[in-house]
Structure 1
Amino acid sequence: MHIHWFPGHMAKAQRMIREQLSLIDVVIELLDARIPVSSANPIIAELIGSKPRVVALNKADLAEAGRTGEWIRHFRSQGLTTVSLDAASGKGTKELVSKVEQEASEKIAKLTAKGIKGRAVRAMILGIPNVGKSSLINRLLGTATAKTGDRPGVTRGQQWLKVGKNLELLDTPGVLWPKMDDQEVAFKLAVTGAIKDDIYDMEKVILRLLEILQENYSERLRERYKLLQAELPEDTAELLALIGAKRGCLRSGGAVDEEKARRIILTDFRSGKLGQFTLDNSNMGE
């Protein structure tokens, strides 16, 4: 399973980030709580250097709560201000704004000492595609100003957005790194939606996902797809066909439409209908 993806606008996004960083007080690094390490773009740390940063674990509603707590403690032990949130519902956004303002307090104090009073905190939101940047901005603004979508690469431009009296946000496109040497990381990015579905081998990705579910969450498979324990085959290809048959994904003649079955499983996983998942292990952050 070899996945490589670096559209031209990603390189442009990096240039834009470098050009705007001098205007920024705090960087908000948005990570996917299901894959806190795999969704962390190493280029971002390189780009921002020593700039104050707040790490936000988004989509926490789709991740295992206990393990999200472990990840928050891990990042905080690294000296990083960290919060969890669900941008879709707004849970955690007030804490995020508070932490951003705290991180910028020293810079604002220096400006005030120079006679520059009342300047809003300027923050930049960075993260890989489809991690929820636009949803977070919309939640903070209380309106659908930033274009959102359920696929990566929707946000292409750059805009300043005012949040209340004390915060201005600079939105940026999602940025992936040029080469993914770790194909397990690539799998996690694909299955969570950071990589466009049409550029990777979905058959291999779904079979790998079924392997993980079969080994660690078989009860969820049985419950969601009305399977009996005795029905669960060890072979993931057979499991895919069984789920497809159970969900009525049949072609004329009775053959299973495996592509349709794969789409159903992927949608169920991403939407939380198969439960909450954290795919990254805590030892990845060591």
Structure 2
Amino acid sequence: MPANTELADFLRNRRARIKPDDVGVRSFGARRVPGLRREELAQLAGVSPTYYTRLEQGQSGNASEAVLDAVARALALDEDERAHLHDLARPRPARRRRPSRPDMARKGTRQLIDALGPVPAVVLGRRNEVLAWNALGHVLLAGHHDRDAPDRPADRPNLTRMLFLDPHTRDLYRHWDEEAARAVASLRLMAGRSADDRELAELIGELSMKSPEFGALWSRHPVRDCTTGTKHFRHPEVGVLDLQFEALHLPDEPGRRVLMYSAEPGSPAEAALLLLGRLSLAGGRADGSTTPPAGPGHRLTRTL
């Protein structure tokens, strides 16, 4: 979606959620749409209605930081939304693209996540594609994929695509709606920073076409930088476990991050994670056997 269309969509969405009475705006006459009118928002931001209209229509690419901050305050945007507004209103110049090469995790990054041992870890690209995972990260998130799948760009797993289109991944999350909302909000933020990313646009288009749930969430224009929190799993091998996650951005590789999971010390989740770690090393099952259980979605190393 073009950046100026994204900007218009975002500003209209945020105007619609503000009730005039809540910001001291007296309402005259019937309102055709909910929320503030353009001229009312412009007055709150201290800019002319004409200027704000041009901004919302994507016709003011040189808007100053002061103006954007004033609009953000008038819309009561949080920190992530404010950054997103700046990204959309003042997009980075399109980069001259060289012939693309498959994105791969660095050797040092792979060594790092493998050395984490009992900590599930995944290296993600800017589009949430899996560039690498350690043994425990693999069996926690996608044991039904081949362990070496991230090394093959043609069928590389993508956590967001899996969340919406893979029934096994959907079953993995006890609070799927919460996880889906978080994924879309994070993808929105990345899309604002990478307006010229063709592959990202294709992913968004694919998910919009194939998943009505993704389309509905995307239309709400959620924005959130999801770097920490709790994920609630229902794993086919070890059952229920709640894990904290941290996403660490790699400073010299924009858009890439290492996603790691941990359990509260002494908790049932820690015991389940340790059991899963032993299974990942032994290729076994929670019942002590070494033959994978029957049925799709329950095998640790089946290629999807």
TM interval, short-chain normalised: under 0.3
Larger-gyration structure (1/2): 2
TM-score, normalised to structure 2, is 0.21
TM-score, normalised to structure 1, is 0.22
Bigger relative contact order, structure 1 or 2 (CA pairs below 8 A, ≥6 apart)? 1
